[in-house]
Amino acid sequence: MTMGDATTFPVLSLLLGLPLLGTGFCLLFRRNADECRWASLATTLAVLVVSVWCFLQSPGPDGWYLVEDYRWIPWLGARFTLAMDGISLLMVLLTAFLQVIAVLISWHQKKHPALLFSLLLLLEAGLLGVFLATDLLLFYLFWEMMLIPMFFLIGVWGHGRRVYAAVKFFLFTLAGSLLMLVAIIGLYLLHGRQTGDYTFALEALKATNCGALEPWLYAGFMIGFLVKVPVVPLHTWLPDAHTVAPGAGSLDLAGLLLKTGVFGILRFAFPLFPASAAASLPALAVLALVGLFYAAWCAYLQEDVKRLIAYSSISHLGVILLGLAAGSRLALEGAILLMACHGLTTGALFALVSMLRRRTGTRELAKLGGLWKEAPIFSWFFLYFSLASLGLPGLANFSGEILVFAGTFQTRPLWGALAVLGVVFAAAYMLRMVQGVLWGKRPPGRPWVDLTWREGLTLAALAFFTLWLGVQPGTFIEPLHLPVQTLLEGTRLLAAAGGAP
């Protein structure tokens, strides 16, 4: 895939610059919490407006919506290159929207509010950079940049064993990132020795003849990405991080950070190492199916609602990885769409659990029950997003899952049949959670108040797009056609999967 001409106005740089400016403002005026709250909300809304403008544009004949390329470190061969195709566009939209939600659900945070909002904006800048960078060194810097704000969000604003969870998150993801860095340097040197052109540009590196080193370089990239997904058995950091993280931290973890691993596989690992990618599809499918069933079983056994949802995320990511392993256009488009769907539905559930804990002081199923009568609006949203996460037809997750299952049946019927059984497990743990929270015997204690107007509007926005993705998924699938087809044609995934469309 070749990139089109750079845009006259640096829209992509603006996307990155806005949250960085907001971060600076919050740190500069950190003594005024109200100003920081409104500045953070205004910044995230501005990023959302620019993202929507990008969505309304038409891609070029090569599939790229916008491209920017600037000199950065000439002696090292690194450039500041940003590019947006249909896949990154969907991820940018998801990031921009969920960060508005993250600011709103953190509105009444009393502990160091200015620092909290500055970290949320810094995290947004890092995420946007990951989804837009096409220079591998630039991508790696943004990849590491995401670690810092999330580490502090968990370690400072979490509860319980927050330091343990933050350090575990940091060590797991850093270890995977260092392996990826070694692979990046190896690819950079190999390409330079072959061509005399030492560069980190993705398009140039695709032409590198890796020879016997390809499986090792591919493994370095994949481990870094699979830790972030995460796959079983590299997943243990995620439930611990979710359990102690604040509401905005859990929303960003489930809704956005987990998606960076899958995006990295699609943008870098598969295109750079097509032969190894094709050979690894069966192993990737095994990891996907193991994660789907194991995490679903663990979710059913949980007594903490937040931990249950955390394991459900791992199970859903198993379906997404299966879509990648299937190697068909339909399954790949479904997997990418499911990333957005999962970000909305699971992010909403984590926001609801944060609101639930503020009202009840607990997340244990044994200490909940009878909420339907006392807080009917909250209960309606909780049921709505639980059913969406379950894959109810007409809501978000169903549209992505049905494409993944249909595409997998085209190429690997056995894989598809096994994955469909995972829906039964999902029904078991989600219905157990709904029963325990909304119905049953009301434990003694103070009355549980319903949603505030701000909480209601926040959840209503999430509910609207969850419905939109369920009934009109074509709006977001259409931009994926060309980049997915290009990915399949540029690699051996289609042939490895059996040649299905």
Each residue's pLDDT tens digit, 203-225: 999 989 988 999 999 999 999 99
**What per-residue confidence (pLDDT) applies to 54?**
94
Please report whether residue 270 resides in a domain.
no
Contact by Cβ (8 Å): 469, 340:
yes
Q: What letter would DSSP give residue 442? A: P
Judge whether residue 6 has pLDDT over 70. Answer: no
Lowest-pLDDT range of 51-55, 155-159, 270-274: 155-159
360-37-11 Cα angle (round to 5)? 125
Of 273, 113, 75, 250, give the one whose Cα is nearest residue 169: 250
Please report whether residue 166 resides in a domain.
no
CA dist., res. 58 & res. 323, Å (int): 26
Count of domains for the chain: 1
Please report whether residue 472 resides in a domain.
yes
Each residue's pLDDT tens digit, 353-403: 988 888 887 888 888 877 888 889 999 999 999 999 988 899 999 999 999
Please report whether residue 104 resides in a domain.
no
Lowest-pLDDT range of 88-97, 116-125, 134-143, 247-256: 247-256
Each residue's pLDDT tens digit, 19-73: 999 999 999 888 888 899 999 999 999 999 999 999 999 888 888 999 999 999 9
**What per-residue confidence (pLDDT) applies to 446?**
60
Judge whether residue 1 has pLDDT over 80. Answer: no
Terminal CA-CA length for the chain: 20
CB atoms within 10 A of CB 282: 12
- Asked whether the bond before 233 is cis by omega within 30 degrees of 0, the reply is yes
**What per-residue confidence (pLDDT) applies to 84?**
95
Please report whether residue 368 resides in a domain.
yes
Percent of the chain residues past pLDDT 70, beyond the cut: 96
**What per-residue confidence (pLDDT) applies to 362?**
80
Structure tokens at 188: 């950079």
Please report whether residue 339 resides in a domain.
yes
Percent of the chain residues past pLDDT 90, beyond the cut: 63
**Domain assignment of residue 454, given as a range:** 283-501
Please report whether residue 6 resides in a domain.
no
Each residue's pLDDT tens digit, 418-471: 888 887 888 888 888 998 888 877 777 666 788 888 889 999 999 999 999 999
What average pLDDT is seen over the chain? 89
Find the mean pLDDT for residues 323-352.
93
Find the mean pLDDT for residues 399-411.
91
**What per-residue confidence (pLDDT) applies to 498?**
53
**What per-residue confidence (pLDDT) applies to 7?**
45
**What per-residue confidence (pLDDT) applies to 426?**
82
**What per-residue confidence (pLDDT) applies to 428?**
87
Confidence of residue 494 (pLDDT cuts 50, 70, 90): low
**What per-residue confidence (pLDDT) applies to 5?**
42
Please report whether residue 135 resides in a domain.
no
Confidence of residue 280 (pLDDT cuts 50, 70, 90): very high
For residue 199, what are the β-bridge partners? none
CA dist., res. 259 & res. 267, Å (int): 12
